[in-house]
Amino acid sequence: SWQNRAHFFGAAAEAMRRILIENARRKSRLKRGGGQVRLNIEELELAATTPDDKVLLIDEALARLQVEDPQIARVVTMKYFGGMTNQEAAESLGVTERTVERQWAYAKAWLFRDIRSQG
């Protein structure tokens, strides 16, 4: 049972993340060869429209961000994997829309730096 609408959407975003990551991993295992995939963080869109290799890179970086700042990692999960708007994420997290905007901007920069440093 869900505590409220916001709780449901947060859980749905996390479930979508897990589904997309597992799908990307499955496809990645089927490919031959490899190599790093370039990621333009400014083009960060809903995970369902992102190539699988990029989804995996973002998920790995997101796991590292989770250790540093769980709140900001939840914003990424809700917006990127769940497709939530700033307003929806703000309502779910109990913060202002402006806070989500700032956290999303920070998260994009953090993820870009992290992915670049790993490659």
Return d(Cα 52, Cα 31) in angstroms, integer.
11
Taking 60 as the threshold, does the pLDDT of residue 93 lie above it?
Answer: yes
Going by pLDDT thresholds of 50, 70 and 90, the confidence category of residue 18 is confident
Domain count, the chain: 1
Residue at 64 is within a domain: yes
Q: Domain containing 106: what range?
A: 5-32+42-118
User: Is 7 within 8 Å of 92 (Cβ atoms)?
Assistant: yes
37-58 pLDDT, tens per residue?
555 655 555 555 567 778 888 8
Residue at 66 is within a domain: yes
Residue at 46 is within a domain: yes
Residue at 37 is within a domain: no
Q: What's the confidence (pLDDT) of residue 55?
A: 82
Residue at 94 is within a domain: yes
Dump strand ranges (E) for the chain.
none
> Angle, to 10 degrees, between the axis of helix 5-30 and the axis of helix 52-68?
130
Average pLDDT of span 72-86: 92
Mean confidence (pLDDT) of the chain: 82
User: Is 114 within 8 Å of 61 (Cβ atoms)?
Assistant: yes
Backbone angles phi, psi at 61, to 5 degrees: -65, -40
